[in-house]
Amino acid sequence: MNMKRASIFAGTVGGFAIASSALAGMNGLSADLVGEDLVAGTYTVRVYAEVDADNRLDAVFGNSVYALSMTYLNGASAYQNSLGGNTSQAINPAFFPLAPSLEWDSYVTIGNLYNTDNALQDIGIDWSGWEAGGDLYADNGTWFITPADPQGEAVGGRVLVAQFTTFAGSGEVDMVFEGGFQGKDANGDTWQSGHSIDIAIPAPGAIALLGLAGLAGRRRRRA
Domain extents in the chain: 4-222
**Of 1, 42, 9, 40, nearest to 163 (Cα)?**
42
Strand partners, 5: 196
Residue 22 has pLDDT above 70, yes or no: no
Give residue 34's pLDDT band: very low, low, confident or very high (50, 70, 90). very high
Give tens-digit pLDDT for 45-70.
Answer: 999 999 999 999 999 999 999 999 99
pLDDT, residue 172, reads 80
Measured CA to CA, the distance from residue 36 to residue 20 in angstroms comes to: 29
Q: Could you tell me if 42 and 102 are in contact, meaning their C-beta atoms sit under 8 angstroms apart?
A: no
**Beta-sheet strands, E only, within the chain:** 4-9, 14-15, 26-36, 43-51, 56-62, 68-72, 77-78, 107-108, 121-123, 136-138, 141-144, 158-167, 173-184, 190-200, 213-216, 220-222
Residue 214 has pLDDT above 80, yes or no: no
pLDDT, residue 52, reads 93
75-105 exposure pattern, b = at least 16 Cβ within 10 A, e = fewer: ebbbbbbeebbbbbbbbbeeeeeeeebbbbb
pLDDT, residue 200, reads 86
How does strand 26-36 pair with strand 14-15? antiparallel
Residue 194 has pLDDT above 80, yes or no: yes
Among the residue ranges 11-15, 73-77, 137-141, the one predicted with the least confidence is 11-15
143-157 exposure pattern, b = at least 16 Cβ within 10 A, e = fewer: bbbeeebebbebeee
Q: What is the mean pLDDT of residues 26-39?
A: 93
Give tens-digit pLDDT for 164-184.
Answer: 999 976 678 899 999 999 999
